[in-house]
Amino acid sequence: MSIATGDSLESRLLARMSKRTVDDRIKRVESPGGKPLSFAQRRLWFLDQLEPGSAEYVIPFGYAVEGALDLAALESAFSGLVARHEVLRTRFVTGEDGEPVQVVDGAWRVPVEVVDLRDVADEAERETRARAAVDAGVGGTFDLSSGRLLRVTVVRLADDRQLLAMAIHHIVADGWSVSVLTDELREFYTAALSGRAVELAELPIRYGDFALWQHEWLTPEREERQLGYWRESLAGIEPLELPTDRPRPLHRSGAGDAVTFRVGAEVAKGLQDIASAQGASLFMAGLAAFQVLLSRWSRQDDIAVGTPIAGRNRAEVENLVGFFVNTLVMRSDLTANPSFTDLLGQVRETALGAFGHQDLPFERIVEELAPERDLSRNALFQVMFALQNVPESAWTLPGLSIETIEVATHASKFDLTLFLTEQSDGSLDAEIVYSTELFDRATVDRLAGHYTRLLDAVVADPARPVGEFDVLTGAEREQVLRTFNDTTVPYEDDTTVTALFERQAARTPDATAVTFEGTRLTYAELNARANQLAHHLTDLGITAGDLVTVCLDRGTDMIVALLGVTKAGAAYVPLDPDYPAARLEFMLSDTRAPLVVTQSHLADRLPGTAAHVLIDADWDTIAAHADTDPVPQSGPQDLAYII
């Protein structure tokens, strides 16, 4: 998607930048051996080498066409476009030096694949098959070395009703190109119907000329000046860590979906007024609000968001089909909890600086600042924001009524992308395209709701610190403040911990109950050992209410001892074997415990005032007892332990 900036602050800035000297103009250059790929094309070519035939970078668009569509004229029109724009008949191949080059073939006749469903009587079946045909037409892959990166499908539903689907690879086109293609397709189609010559001005250059010029223009000196700005502005950038519904996959498939919503005209005007008062644009205000929301969701203060720009700031390329879009990174610092107006001022300066250094291809910034690539993430940013100032105009063909239709699924190259489009009534149409590998639709619905409520709050009080804006609904606030904090649950207050443990051992005897340094006891094993110790303690005279001290190293023996003492009806008194001898003697004397459960290597640390049960050395004797649950000797009201 490109940004149609209209008469915005950004467009005035770009217009000033586009006043180049004569020597800086792009010229036609013949290159029999092929021309280099533009920097943007090189990135897509490289990604295609990693995953050949990926459909992630295919641009689909489709239309419902009412009226008698002339298929011969349509095929002639598309073929005319291919003959006019070299990029549509360009192959991308590897040269002798291992570098990719563009090789332009001769014009080729574009075949229009026709799927005729007029004889399908059942309307529901016809619509289902039509949708499948459209999705197949736009969802297929392309071979970049074929030179045929445009595909057209017509689905005939009736004599005067059809669907027109087109797919084109991103390496030869962008959002702006789609407008060029549809405008010129109208002229080619009209000329074919009437048998007249096409009335289009000759193109001053070809896309290959732009790619060659781009490489020559970006001298080491210019590149270093541009890189210096981006090094400074993006130094120390960290990935945005939004809370996802699923772990991030090692490799992204691009699977996505979209949530649409609307920002009312009153709120949109209020946002525009706030921006104008700060010398900013609606784009900047919408971006600032989005960064506030991302900060709130991620709990991060350093927020970097990507934004696409058309990349057509030279008159020679305005009417060319090709891949010109560049990407800028907008970074904001919310550490000091600024007011929205202060943040907007920061975003304004960042945006103007970025626009002023837009000539450096994003791919070069990535190479310089992100040498270690993570295939699960995009380089430098994970979230994108775009504003289209002018709604897309309706496309027409002679004698036909045409309406845009949704085609295929939403590919998501990023975690999230927020698109805003200004409408003629002053409102904003909004769409969040999201990765379905990371987010559920309900999560993105909630994000969209938070964005609209944030905009409402910003318009009401732009001087308020951004951290104080309330984005929650009443139901969400109730959930956070009360539901999540209501930890009261029914609990059996007429039973004991040992009884609950015995129930669990009966339910899951083979489940792991405790592990320590490679030793593992199941619930059945732990319960049996604790039962044997309890029976042994009872034989030694321990009864309900007695105190038994436990002086053991950390490990499974300690858990057996604590359970065994409580199963015998006694209360345990834990002793730390690392305490000084005097401290241990005082605790034994103070509790008057008749028995100590300990280990043979710790016995000599304890005074001889109490009998010792050595849980390791005496285990053969202990294990001779029954491993069945003992008769309960204590209840919920009795003492469990003393510390």
Q: Tell me: do 316 and 410 sit in the same domain.
A: yes
Answer whether residue 478 is part of any domain: no
Answer whether residue 640 is part of any domain: no
Is the sign of the CA dihedral 141, 311, 342, 286 positive or negative? negative
Beta carbons within 10 angstroms of residue 87's beta carbon: 23
What pLDDT is stored for residue 17 in this prediction? 46
DSSP line for 286-320 = HHHHHHHHHHHHHT-SEEEEEEEE----SGGGTT-
Answer whether residue 403 is part of any domain: yes
Q: Tell me: do 189 and 338 sit in the same domain.
A: yes
Tokens of 558: 């300690």
Sort strands 58-66 and 161-169 into parallel, antiparallel or unpaired: antiparallel
β partners of residue 328: 307
Cα–Cα dist 488/465, whole Å:
36
Q: Tell me: do 167 and 315 sit in the same domain.
A: yes
What pLDDT is stored for residue 392 in this prediction? 58
Q: Tell me: do 432 and 546 sit in the same domain.
A: no
Q: At what angle do helices 265-277 and 282-298 cross, to 10 degrees?
A: 100
Beta carbons within 10 angstroms of residue 212's beta carbon: 20
Whether the CB-CB separation of 569 and 535 falls below 8 Å is answered with: no
Answer whether residue 382 is part of any domain: yes
Look up the domain containing 406 and give its range. 9-23+34-468
Look up tokens 């002679």; give the residue.
398
What pLDDT is stored for residue 378 in this prediction? 85
Whether the CB-CB separation of 537 and 572 falls below 8 Å is answered with: no
Q: What is the CATH number of the domain that holds 524?
A: 3.40.50.980
Q: At what angle do helices 282-298 and 441-460 cross, to 10 degrees?
A: 120
Answer whether residue 436 is part of any domain: yes
Cα–Cα dist 178/59, whole Å:
9
Radius of gyration of the chain (CA): 36
Whether the CB-CB separation of 308 and 327 falls below 8 Å is answered with: yes
**Helix H or strand E encompassing 11:** helix 9-17
Asked which of 468, 483, 507 is the last residue of a domain, the reply is: 468
Q: What is residue 640's three-state secondary structure?
A: coil
Answer whether residue 643 is part of any domain: no
312 CB-near residues (< 8 Å, 6+ apart)? 176, 318, 324
Q: Which amino acid is at 5?
A: T
For the chain of 643 residues, list the mean pLDDT of each consecutive stretch of 10: 40 46 73 86 87 80 93 96 96 88 94 95 92 88 91 95 94 91 94 94 93 91 93 92 92 86 96 96 97 96 94 87 94 96 97 92 86 77 88 78 81 91 93 95 96 97 96 87 80 84 92 89 93 91 88 90 91 88 85 85 78 85 91 86 89
Chain Cα centroid distance, residue 504: 41
What pLDDT is stored for residue 11 in this prediction? 45
β partners of residue 434: 257, 416
Q: Tell me: do 454 and 505 sit in the same domain.
A: no
Cα–Cα dist 7/2, whole Å:
15
Cα–Cα dist 172/175, whole Å:
11
Answer whether residue 2 is part of any domain: no
Q: Which amino acid is at 459?
A: V
**How many folded domains does the chain comprise?**
2
Q: Tell me: do 364 and 403 sit in the same domain.
A: yes
Taking Cα atoms as reference points, which of 230, 275, 265, 313 lies closest to residue 9? 275
Q: Tell me: do 407 and 507 sit in the same domain.
A: no
Answer whether residue 636 is part of any domain: no
Q: What is the CATH number of the domain that holds 377?
A: 3.30.559.30
174 CB-near residues (< 8 Å, 6+ apart)? 2, 59, 310, 311, 322, 323, 324, 325
Asked which of 468, 485, 519 is the last residue of a domain, the reply is: 468
What pLDDT is stored for residue 625 in this prediction? 92
Q: Tell me: do 354 and 439 sit in the same domain.
A: yes
Q: Tell me: do 245 and 384 sit in the same domain.
A: yes
Q: Tell me: do 525 and 456 sit in the same domain.
A: no
Cα–Cα dist 410/177, whole Å:
19
What pLDDT is stored for residue 390 in this prediction? 55
Please give the torsion angle defined by the CA atoms of residues 455, 461, 466 and 472, in that order, rounded to the nearest 10 degrees.
-50
| DSSP alpha helix (H) spans, 18-122 | 39-50, 71-84
Cα–Cα dist 87/324, whole Å:
12
What pLDDT is stored for residue 8 in this prediction? 47
Q: How far is CA 558 from CA 292, 306, 395, 444, in A?
A: 51, 56, 79, 49
What pLDDT is stored for residue 481 in this prediction? 84
Q: What is the 3-state secondary structure (H, E, C) of 121-145?
A: CCHHHHHHHHHHHHHHHHHCCCCCC
Q: Tell me: do 461 and 408 sit in the same domain.
A: yes
Q: How many CA atoms lie within 13 A of 579 on its CB side?
A: 16
Cα–Cα dist 505/522, whole Å:
8
Q: Tell me: do 461 and 502 sit in the same domain.
A: no
Q: How far is CA 300 from CA 234, 332, 467, in A?
A: 16, 11, 12
